[in-house]
Chain A
Amino acid sequence: MVPEPEFESYYGRQIIKTPTWKTPDVPVYLFVGGMAGGSALLAEGAALTGRPGLECVARAAAAGGAVVGTVALVHDLGRPSRFLNMLRVFKPTSPLSVGTFILAPFGGLSAVAFASHLTGRVPRIGRLAGAGAALLGAPLVTYTAALVANTAVPAWHEAHRELPFAFAGSGASAAGGVAMVFAPHAESGPGATLAMSGAAVELVATATMERRMGLVGEPYRIGRPGLLMKVARGLTVGGAVLTPFGARRPALRRLAGAAYVAGSVVFRFGVFEAGIASAKDPKYVVIPQRERLQARREEQARTTEAH
């Protein structure tokens, strides 16, 4: 039935289309991209500071994440066999195109780095590849924010300033969390630090975002995506609270790491579903646009009067 009192619509139907991106493919991709990118950075740090155990886990996470991410990305395509069509052109206006050109070399480099690390062969190439992967790691983590923000989906697009930071934080805490769980306790300290700082960035960015977005931020607070966001926040905060206690207790560190990882996963689902929810309800399209229009008309009226 039609309209809620404050705005008109066509039989209450949504105006923009619901993104066709599948779940869990895309939220998983968002997560593994962040986790893998962050892990590549960790791996390089570990290599530079002589933490082979940490390096091994991080390289595995980076390479594995790239593989899983690629699989998720290809699986999400309507015509998976045409994945390679994305490599025929490079378009800076398409974050997906940019991302493909980040993911593809990142996947290759992190795989080489991991293989080299495992086998001990071609160590120089392995190190170079690792450095390259680390270089691509950070953009791999944050470009996905542009991927979702560069749409007409209100809850994503209006978050385009904070979302890269939230994703950076979430990627950092995921990568750190994986390291906390799997790396030897003696070497996983940087992972814990990264996870902790990442968690802080994510929480601050998300809080800022939701506050600034007003009505369009509503999907992050209500319904299923709102619940997911709350759970994610709880897990991440839980991880952060536990982290200091894990310094001397490996099990607690692992638990904290797991909380970070879980928090990051749920966070990505929350963001994804908030976007979907905002696409399905015409009010998130109509009301902000109508306000914008109104403001512009008032501005025009003022200008005209002034003349």
Chain B
Amino acid sequence: MANQIDSRIPEGPLAEKWTNYKAHQKLVNPANKRKLDIIVVGTGLAGASAAASLGEMGFHVINFCIQDSPRRAHSIAAQGGINAAKNYQNDGDSVYRLFYDTIKGGDYRAREANVYRLAEVSANIIDQCVAQGVPFAREYGGMLANRSFGGVQVCRTFYAKGQTGQQLLLGAYSSLMKEVNNGTVELHTRTEVEDIVVIDGRCRGVIAKNLVTGKLERYGAHAVCLATGGYGNTYFLSTNAMGCNCTAAVQAYRKGAYFANPCFVQIHPTCIPVHGDKQSKLTLMSESLRNDGRIWVPKNLEDAKKLQRGEIKGRDIPEEDRDYYLERRYPAFGNLVPRDVASRAAKERTDAGYGVNNTGLAVFLDFSEAFQRLGRKRVDERYGNLFDMYQEITDVDPHENPMMIFPAIHYTMGGLWVDYELQTSIKGLFALGECNFSDHGANRLGASALMQGLSDGYFVIPYTMQNYLSDQIQVPHIDTKAPEFDAAEKAVQAEIDRIYNIKGDESVDHIHKKLYHIMWDYVGMARNEAGLKKALAMLKDIRKEFNEHVRIPGDKEGLNVELDKAIHLRDFITMGELIAYDALERKESCGGHFREESQTEEGEAKRDDENFMYVACWQYQGSDEVAPTLLKEPLDYQYIKVQVRNYKK
């Protein structure tokens, strides 16, 4: 069958697959590595670690980032930590347990072999980062410290204050700059990849836009890695950085790469609530706050109304009138239930009218009990910087009044489909980090994104890339004058001309905010068939509105920020449709995807393993106007007993 999905999982028992793969894969000798070019798009944890490692191995690497420096990639904003199965705490952790927790946390929608490999290399990541000089938190004896995170029962998270992502990224960035200095990595900053180039069925290069000069440039290579992050900004308001976009990934999808599980979007429960219609992004408050903070809303609707009208404050409500709904519904995990569960529970309460701010879209995160139990000083030692950040943004002191939080789009588990080697369905095109779909199933556990990005970049792609390139050593440097490059560049330029020449009357942000409302209202935390169908119809209208009304001021040539934003928005609209198609097709509730039609009597998510235990792979059908086709990769659990995820007992 032509459309058979082959994940190319190596033979052998689970724990030996990666060892076997490495023992039998093909290699490229040092003299040949020099002759081979590899493009890496993105300089976040996955991109920087891949570019640095591949360069160091002797390949010629061409690396792009859209910011002014590779160090700005959004991995830098990750706060909490990175998981690794080191078992330094002697609390029963192991590779198997990390594997098990990740599969279970992902609601049994991730591939066993990929996740096992992730757990296996997790320990090497910590070793590597320490060798680079990453200043992880330490105990007085000089050993590395750990903290616990949601959804697990061991203490395996390594951290550097509330800035773990920053420190890991700066480690990868320093290795990258070392290779830039050595001449193995050619770095292009303020450069955005607009399209990939496929020649004879293999990805052989990219068309990139220099964001300062506005000129399109051609780059050829024997293989291309996309490490361009997720598509959370489809929703306009998210915890992603302003520049995060999915243009390169969507272009790869348009060129034939399958897009997997797009409806699996993570909504993080502890963000600062939306405060007005001028807001540009949402700020995350670290999940670690849930270790000591208690989440509640009033028991009485009348109290909630008074809070909404600003007549009383949270501290005015006596203890007996507070509903600690997570502790009530999930006694075993309480405030530390996984993110998807905590977010849905907040929505359930605010939908019922119990929201605590002026919009009714917030719940309390309260530290008063922790202040009494531990004393203000000890609580401040743990969370002081977060309290300061909260106060700066909201002008409310969390010592005086409980914090207000609300769920927000944070991470996307879905992404480009990849096989065991991280290769997409286009030969020679690889996807790393959040850009791919592979490891987190339907819900990602806290502190696992950093682990996956670095695993892909440092410890997976350096092996699998050689296996791919071993029969490419005779292929000369790719000629960027080839007709395929001509056609690709011409198409990108035609799109830029088309968008620029619309000369309508609405700004990019204006249309993007409309997209946000559709996505959040109908393709957000709770979805149903009627709503999704309505959203798909509305998304068609949004595309029409974009095509007829978007206004790009300034010159087409040279630096034009609005033009670049418009290109991103074109692709966010297509992405929004993909999310909606996938959400409509997946009639079960699973991880971050909640279908109202599929819930238990108690309102918990109801998975349907009989009908939906597969990876949904969406195939482009030649036009954004045509619905994509669904292919299925069945998930076969041989080593793990599939169970109902239960955080109650």
Q: Do A and B form a real pair?
A: no
- Using a CB–CB cutoff of 8 Å, the interface residues on chain A facing chain B are none
- Using a CB–CB cutoff of 8 Å, the interface residues on chain B facing chain A are none
